[in-house]
Structure 1
Amino acid sequence: MIVLEKNLKWVTPILSPLLSLLLLYFTYWSIIGDTEEINAFSYVSTYLYLIWFNGMVYFSGHLSNFYENFIPIRKNPSLRLTLELITLFVMALLFFYVVLITINLHSNKPSPHIIQKNNLILGVIQSLILLLYCSLIITDDYLRKWRDESIKAETLKQDKLRAENRALQAHLNPHFLFNSLNVLISEIEYDPVQAKKFAMDLSHTYRYVLQIKEATEVTFETEWEAMKHYLDLHQVRLGEGLNLDLNIENEKSQRIIPPLSLQLLLENVFKHNVATIRKPLTIKVEMREDFIKIENNIQLKNKKQESYNIGLTYLKESFKAMDKNAQVEITETSDYFSVTIPLLNKTA
């Protein structure tokens, strides 16, 4: 794309002079009528014609930048486009008059500034050609700017996602850490062996967050390995208040997802729902070849807090950044809440 754009930059400087020479030769031929008598470069009008034509082309190429300083196209696109079209029309009208004067000068007219009816068609044709050519240049300029703006917007979006990803990685719910440390202290006193395993799971969980700090994608195998430690921590902390139903088709799957996707969904479940022996929280994790689904029964900690959307917008944007066709499906009923995310293929 960059090489093609560099090549296109040479088109206008070459095509514009060639087109002006062709039109000028056609003008002289229509006046003189004999190609052998045409010695275009011996006429002063030739140079005036070429300067005017190429000057208008050059000006049209900078017209958009000129108006951008006074009327940004984002603020008032209708007015901006109208002004540019009017300017082009005036330019073409002036050029039309220049063509007629050139014709009259070589037709030995006593008053070359007076428009002759028989030369109107020739002047109109050349003016329309100039108008069309300048319009194409402005259109090309618009398309280039639109593309650049699109690339810039996409870059900003990617930067925003990376920033959000780092923010997400930087925080596992502080309450989770405090609760985990309290559990660890209790386990050290009553079950040292279990306490050691709990400490290892906690270490694995936070190590994973640090390891993928700069990652934009991870394999399901990598993410799931970390989530098993994460779920084990909650299982020890909540005991019989947590029921896990894991149905994983292929733990070694190399399909990819945004980092911490599963952690975000699981943390959302724990954050919003009560999990006690009397009201156990059930989490189902189902993985197939093309998707992974996390579902839980709904028993909100705060009845007024009915939204599960914290982090889900970020998750959707992360998948879209990896694959514009990726869909995150959210299902909510009075009894359960589920999120299904796609497992993507690695890009070449």
Structure 2
Amino acid sequence: MDACDRRMILNEARDIVLLIMAGLVMTFTGLGCRDCAFNSKIFWIISSFSSLIWVVLWKGNDYIGSYISRKISWLHYPVKRFFIGMVVTIGFSLLAIYLLSTTYNAIFDINISQNVYFPMIITIIISLFLHGRAFLMNWRKTSVDAEKLQKENIMAKYESLKNQVNPHFLFNSLNALTNLVYEDQDKAVKFIKQLSEVYRYVLDTREKEVVPLEEELRFLRAYLFLQQIRFGNKLVVEIDIQNDSEIRIAPLALQMLLENAIKHNVVSEDDPLLIRVYTNSHYIIVENNIQKKAMLGEPSLGVGLENIRKRYEFLSTTRVEVNEDQSRFQVKLPVLTGAAA
């Protein structure tokens, strides 16, 4: 038994002792029994009954309330949770009082029903308080979780910009441009234009949570133009997406997935890298053939993919799916709809 279990048992024992004392005090002060002062036997019978009633009603309703909260969320169904909790509390309390009263009446042959009204009223009042308290605590926890998720989303977007549009990409692009200037000046001019489009898109979308899919695809084609200048026919990208003005996507998500595919796989004339981008009714899918590089140094920790997951947890109830087998790596982004942020 660990320290947490011992502390829980001690707390339960403390609560039971306090409830027994409450029953004794109620009987002693005459609140639970008008005849107890004249008969010590009746006093102890009523005291045991009152203490048992307090323990059964309070602890029983506490356990039942916790069970209902696990089954019916305060966050999603607050009114339903409150009314079901109150109905079950009152129903359990009436049943417990009836069974205990009947048992005591049969054993001790006295009418004990007059002693149940006060604990019943107190139980209902305290139950209302506890249900309200549980609602407020769950509401506060939900607010804290939502704030935490929002902060994680902001950090994920920052990390995606920092990690994906990084100095290595700019260095490789300028390196390719240096060679291109001597070989084909017209293509070099187009290369510069596409490079400016890439960075303009990054600046335009840095404050947005989602963008229209068509804008992301326009940016992706500019990015791919730069990559294919570098890799030529060694990189093959197939985009098969029907135009739909309602579809939204997290900005830079597709670029990040393509960058990961290029980063972690061999791209050569003998082994060209094939990347497909397409949609079905529920997902935007990016997949590539697997031909992994021999990684030097520490292995990849999947930070970019984790950033995408966190961003989509903030945007959608549908999770990002990642599937991998011996020949294919696939990432499925949930389709988002609605106005762009």
- Aligned counterpart, 2:207: 214
Residue 332 of structure 2: SS of its match in structure 1? strand
**AA matched with 2:289:** N
Counterpart Cα distance in 1 of 2:9 and 2:201: 52
**AA matched with 1:280:** P
- Aligned counterpart, 1:199: 192
Counterpart Cα distance in 1 of 2:327 and 2:288: 9
**AA matched with 2:312:** F
- Aligned counterpart, 1:284: 276
Give the deviation of 1:339 after TM superposition: 1.2
- Aligned counterpart, 1:98: 29
**AA matched with 1:182:** N
> 1:104-253 counterparts in 2 under 5 A?
115=43, 121-171=113-163, 172-250=165-243, 252-253=244-245
Q: Deviations over 1:34-62 (max 9, x none)?
A: xxxxxxxxxxxxxxxxxxxxxxxxxxxxx
Please say if 1:268 is aligned against 2:264: no
Counterpart Cα distance in 2 of 1:99 and 1:233: 89
Give the deviation of 1:201 after TM superposition: 1.3
**AA matched with 1:130:** I
Q: In 2, are the aligned partners of 1:204 and 1:226 still within 8 Å (CA)?
A: yes
Counterpart Cα distance in 2 of 1:123 and 1:346: 62
- Aligned counterpart, 2:310: 317
Residue of structure 1 aligned with 2:323, choices 325, 331, 334: 331
Q: In 2, are the aligned partners of 1:89 and 1:131 still within 8 Å (CA)?
A: no
- Aligned counterpart, 1:60: none
Q: Deviations over 1:242-277 (max 9, x none)?
A: 112221221x53212222211221111111112122
Q: Percent identity?
A: 30
* 5+ residue gaps, structure 1: 1-72
Q: In 1, are the aligned partners of 2:233 and 2:272 still within 8 Å (CA)?
A: yes
Q: Deviations over 1:145-165 (max 9, x none)?
A: 122112211210121111111
Counterpart Cα distance in 2 of 1:163 and 1:84: 44
Q: Deviations over 1:108-147 (max 9, x none)?
A: x7899x9496796434431232134213312321231122
* Structure with larger RCO (C-alpha < 8 A, sep 6+): 2
Q: In 2, are the aligned partners of 1:170 and 1:209 still within 8 Å (CA)?
A: no
Residue 100 of structure 1: SS of its match in structure 2? coil
Q: Deviations over 1:278-313 (max 9, x none)?
A: 221111111345322111111111268887844223
TM-score using structure 2 length: 0.68
Counterpart Cα distance in 2 of 1:262 and 1:342: 12
Number of equivalences: 270
Residue 341 of structure 1: SS of its match in structure 2? strand
Q: In 1, are the aligned partners of 2:220 and 2:254 still within 8 Å (CA)?
A: yes
Q: In 1, are the aligned partners of 2:156 and 2:308 still within 8 Å (CA)?
A: no
Q: In 2, are the aligned partners of 1:92 and 1:131 still within 8 Å (CA)?
A: no
Q: In 1, are the aligned partners of 2:290 and 2:326 still within 8 Å (CA)?
A: yes
Residue 128 of structure 1: SS of its match in structure 2? helix
Residue 269 of structure 2: SS of its match in structure 1? coil
Change (3 A) 1:341 1:100: closer
What's the RMSD between the two structures over aligned residues? 3.4
Residue 245 of structure 1: SS of its match in structure 2? strand
Counterpart Cα distance in 2 of 1:96 and 1:194: 96
Change (3 A) 1:234 1:314: same
Change (3 A) 1:78 1:286: farther
Q: Deviations over 1:191-225 (max 9, x none)?
A: 11111111111111122112111211222112111
Give the deviation of 1:234 after TM superposition: 0.6
